[in-house]
Amino acid sequence: MDPGSVVVMGFVASLCASAGTALGSLGVFTIRRLSRRMEDGLLSLAAGIMLAATFFSLLLPALEYGSEHYDSSLAGPLSVAGGTFLGAAVLFLIHQYVPHEHFSRGREGSDAYKLSRIWLFVTAITLHNFPEGLAVGVGFAGGEVKNGVTLAIGIGLQNIPEGLAVAVALLSVGYTPLRSALIGIASGLVEPVGGLLGAMAVATLESLMPWALAFAAGAMLFVISDEIIPETHNNGNQNLATFTLLGGFILMMLLDTSL
């Protein structure tokens, strides 16, 4: 498959995945409040889908590409390990220096208290969504349409509860339903940007495939481990959060193997 087609498919698929965020955000017009238990369950379900997508659609293909591109049996896994660590490290550094606000942990990042709350929320949501778009884009590495489509469907599904949770959280801190929905929808638009960049990277340099797939996986793992799991296990709902995460993982695993 020619590189141009890979880029177009990566962009379109990540745009479609972002529609899940829009759909979930629009739910704020009918669902004005989520209990903490329901919110933790929805976010954990999304985390489970993300986690399975990371393993089955990013790390496993990365290991396969690594074994094909390197002569040494150790070089492939090491490149994937390095890419995974690099993806997590980049997200960590961005979180340290870019002002943003979590719904349960408050403000983080340099000069976070100098910015209005709405921009801190927007930044936090954007930091969360960008790696997902990147993952969809690099999922089309080598013209692997099935892998990319599976990732797009999985990310789109997990975006629905995530978008709803974000919009309802914004509503709960004083934003109008319309503004909450629009912010949620706008936050999802960063996913096509990530998808375009990821697809361009793997389409331009074939040798980047294992690194790019692993980088996206590391970024996703950081979001799951640093943000979603701590927030959903901080309100006495850890048993529910654990099993809904497992449910999301199984759902995505079945989706990946059946397509």
Using CA atoms, how far apart are residues 166 and 138, in angstroms rounded to an integer? Answer: 26
pLDDT along the chain (259 residues), means of 10: 81 94 94 88 92 92 86 86 95 78 52 53 75 88 80 92 86 88 90 91 81 92 89 90 96 87
Using CA atoms, how far apart are residues 229 and 241, in angstroms rounded to an integer? Answer: 8
Check: CB of residue 70 under 8 Å from CB of residue 83. no
The pLDDT value recorded for residue 115 is 45
Q: Which of 179, 151, 152, 153 is nearest to 166 (CA)?
A: 179
The pLDDT value recorded for residue 114 is 43
Q: If 0-12 CB within 10 Å is exposed, 13-18 middle and 19+ buried, where does residue 35 land?
A: exposed
The pLDDT value recorded for residue 66 is 86
The pLDDT value recorded for residue 252 is 93
Using CA atoms, how far apart are residues 189 and 63, in angstroms rounded to an integer? Answer: 30
Using CA atoms, how far apart are residues 53 and 22, in angstroms rounded to an integer? Answer: 21
Alpha carbon 247 to its chain's center: 17
* Residue 118 C-beta-side C-alpha neighbours within 13 Å: 11
Contacts of residue 66, defined as CB under 8 A and 6 or more positions apart, other chains included, come to 75, 76, 77, 79, 80, 210
The three-class DSSP label of residue 106 is strand
Domain locations along the chain: 3-258
Provide the 8-state DSSP code for 144.
-
Q: String of b and e for 43-72 (b: at least 16 CB within 10 Å)?
A: bbbbbbbbbbbbbbbbbbbbbbbbbebbee
The pLDDT value recorded for residue 143 is 67
